[in-house]
């Protein structure tokens, strides 16, 4: 069970400098829409969960609120900031970079901001990457494009080398925009910073197209990515309905978590089956997926199947699970497997079929953020700047139950966010598709 010690946020030291934002904060109080800096946000959100702890309300586990502080740790005029983006792309990365730079410059008066190129390798001398000076002029319109103007990469880098680079450039604050791997890397950087007795804040803005980072509502870019995915589901549905025995099969990203598949199916409400990593399925047999699909095609003349890339890995025996440069397990291609098995199964059953396979792949994550995600990215960037200027370190900023909070990095990587097979989301998917609870 999560306790106080899991939620404690590290700071570099006392905040002794008046914030340039102090005047704006004078009239603030905790309301339904804001939480003042010395209030706390309860971790549990049901009476039953809070009740089992059996402690008075002020002793319940709670999170530090995000947002501006009246007094800050860093002197803006003497603060030098670095920004890095790591891991796979996600819509909104440029929005986050832009938001960080604008907030730092315009509201805090920080003038020296650099971007490291191509993820953590941008710190390492032998790659020969330059650093990018970031100013409001440079970032003003970068949100019109997908991707990240800084570039990104996977692959391990030595945290000693990273901290060497931070020292060489006299960086006081490092913003890391990335997923679970990036946050683990940042924790290594924090460890080395501590060992060298340096006062450098490291603050993360969690990035995951798969929505697999826990304790946050939904990651930035997710809404954009799932909106893109609906286009493929729509196309699959049109193809399926336009051919005798039409089967539209769509494979979507989602290495360990099937959120994109679930939400895009709910948005389109055209799919008959959703297969996700969290819910294993049998392929063969009377109650297996293939036989169920055959009956559906015979009854209705067509079907749409959406599969998350991490689903059904247990069925891919020829697959030797290698790892990518960052240590992430390489997946077998469940989409191609299903295309072959569905065709064979329908052929064997003498059911006329036309299987159309869609793999939008990177197309869903390389687009610019939609307006909702852009606004969300900007607010996360603001929260990250406020946290860092107040000397918070080894934290990510996040929105949890619509409140901006500081979450210790260790907690953010302590587990993965999954679609709960017993939860409301999966229940909605089952209702929308009409598929059985299990294929067994």
Ligand X SMILES: O=P(O)(O)OC[C@H]1O[C@](O)(COP(=O)(O)O)[C@@H](O)[C@@H]1O
Give 17-58 as a DSSP string: EE-TTHHHHTT---BTTB--TTS-EES--SHHHHHHH-S-GG
Residue 188 sits in the site that holds ligand ADP (CB under 6 A): yes
Residue 37 sits in the site that holds ligand X (CB under 6 A): no
Taking CB under 6 A as the criterion, the residue among 19, 79, 208, 435 binding ligand X is 208
CB atoms within 10 A of CB 26: 7
Q: Is 333 a catalytic residue?
A: no
Residue 256 sits in the site that holds ligand X (CB under 6 A): no
| Measured distance CA(401)–CA(131) in Å, rounded | 37
Distances (CA, A) of 235 to 231, 242, 260: 6, 11, 17
Strand ranges inside 54-134, DSSP E: 62-65, 71-72, 80-85, 112-116, 131-133
- 275 to 314: interface string for ligand X, x by CB under 6 A: ----------------------------------x-----
Residue 182 sits in the site that holds ligand ADP (CB under 6 A): yes
Q: Which does 327 bind (CB under 5 to 8 A by kind): Mg ion, ligand ADP, ligand X, none?
A: ligand ADP
- Convert 334-351 into a string of H (helix), E (strand) and C (coil): HHHHHHHHHHHHHHHCCC
Closest CA to 172 of 206, 131, 202, 137: 202
| Measured distance CA(299)–CA(368) in Å, rounded | 41
Q: Which does 255 bind (CB under 5 to 8 A by kind): ligand X, Mg ion, ligand ADP, none?
A: ligand X
Residue 222 sits in the site that holds ligand ADP (CB under 6 A): no
Taking CB under 6 A as the criterion, the residue among 94, 219, 224, 326 binding ligand ADP is 326
- Are 180 and 212 contacting, i.e. CB atoms less than 8 angstroms apart? yes
CB of 88 to Mg ion, least distance (A): 7
Distances (CA, A) of 138 to 111, 150, 195: 13, 12, 35
Residue 365 sits in the site that holds ligand X (CB under 6 A): yes
| Measured distance CA(10)–CA(254) in Å, rounded | 32
**Of the listed 95, 143, 210, 373, which one is catalytic?**
210
253 in a labelled binding site: yes
Give 125-143 as a DSSP string: GGG---EEE--HHHHTTGG
Q: Which does 253 bind (CB under 5 to 8 A by kind): Mg ion, ligand ADP, ligand X, none?
A: ligand X
Taking CB under 6 A as the criterion, the residue among 62, 218, 328, 428 binding ligand ADP is 328
Residue 262 sits in the site that holds ligand X (CB under 6 A): no
Binding residues for Mg ion restricted to 138-197, rule: CB under 5 A: 179-181
Element at 279 (helix H, strand E): none
Residues that bind ligand ADP (CB under 6 A): 86-88, 119-120, 153-157, 178-182, 184-185, 188, 326-328
Active site positions, annotated = 210
Residues that bind ligand X (CB under 6 A): 87-88, 179, 181, 208-210, 253-255, 309, 324, 328, 365
Q: Which residues are annotated as a binding site?
A: 88, 154-155, 179-182, 208-210, 253-255, 309, 362-365
């Amino acid at each position: 069970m999560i306790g106080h010690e899991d939620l404690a946020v590290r700071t570099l030291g006392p905040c002794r400098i008046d914030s340039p934002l102090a005047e704006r904060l004078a009239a603030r109080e905790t309301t339904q829409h804001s939480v003042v800096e010395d209030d706390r946000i309860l971790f549990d959100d049901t009476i039953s969960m809070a009740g089992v702890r059996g402690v008075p309300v002020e002793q319940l586990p709670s999170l530090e609120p995000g947002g501006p502080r009246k007094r800050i740790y860093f002197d803006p005029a003497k603060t030098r900031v670095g920004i890095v983006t790591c891991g796979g792309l996600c819509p909104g990365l440029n929005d986050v970079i832009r938001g960080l730079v604008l907030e730092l410059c315009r509201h805090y008066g920080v003038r020296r901001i650099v971007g490291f190129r191509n993820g953590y390798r941008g710190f390492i001398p032998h790659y020969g990457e330059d650093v990018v000076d970031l100013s409001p002029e440079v970032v003003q319109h970068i949100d019109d494009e997908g991707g990240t103007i800084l570039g990104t990469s996977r692959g391990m880098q030595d945290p000693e080398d990273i901290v060497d680079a931070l020292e060489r450039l006299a960086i006081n604050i490092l913003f890391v925009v990335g997923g679970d791997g990036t946050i683990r890397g940042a924790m290594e950087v924090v460890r080395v910073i501590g060992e060298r007795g340096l006062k450098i804040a490291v603050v993360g803005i969690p990035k995951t197209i798969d929505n697999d980072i826990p304790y946050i509502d939904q990651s930035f870019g997710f809404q954009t990515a799932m909106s893109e995915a609906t286009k493929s589901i729509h196309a699959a549905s049109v193809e399926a309905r336009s051919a005798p025995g039409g089967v539209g099969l769509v494979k979507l990203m989602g290495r360990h978590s099937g959120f994109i598949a679930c939400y895009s199916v709910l948005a389109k409400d055209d799919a008959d089956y959703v297969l996700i990593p969290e819910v294993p399925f049998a392929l063969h047999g009377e109650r297996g997926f293939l036989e169920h699909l055959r009956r559906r095609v015979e009854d209705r003349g067509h079907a749409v199947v959406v599969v998350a890339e991490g689903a059904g890995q247990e069925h891919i025996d020829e697959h030797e699970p290698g790892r990518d440069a960052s240590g992430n397990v390489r997946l077998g291609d469940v989409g191609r497997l299903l295309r072959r098995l569905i065709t064979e199964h329908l052929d064997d059953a003498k059911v006329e079929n036309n299987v159309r396979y869609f793999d939008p792949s990177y197309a869903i994550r390389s687009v610019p953020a939609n307006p909702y995600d852009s606004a969300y990215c900007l607010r996360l960037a603001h929260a990250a700047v406020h946290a860092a200027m107040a000397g918070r370190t080894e934290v990510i900023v996040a929105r949890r139950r619509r409140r901006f909070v500081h979450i210790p990095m260790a907690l953010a990587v302590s587990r993965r966010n999954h679609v709960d097979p017993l939860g409301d989301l999966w229940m909605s998917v089952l209702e929308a598709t009409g598929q059985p609870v299990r294929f067994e």
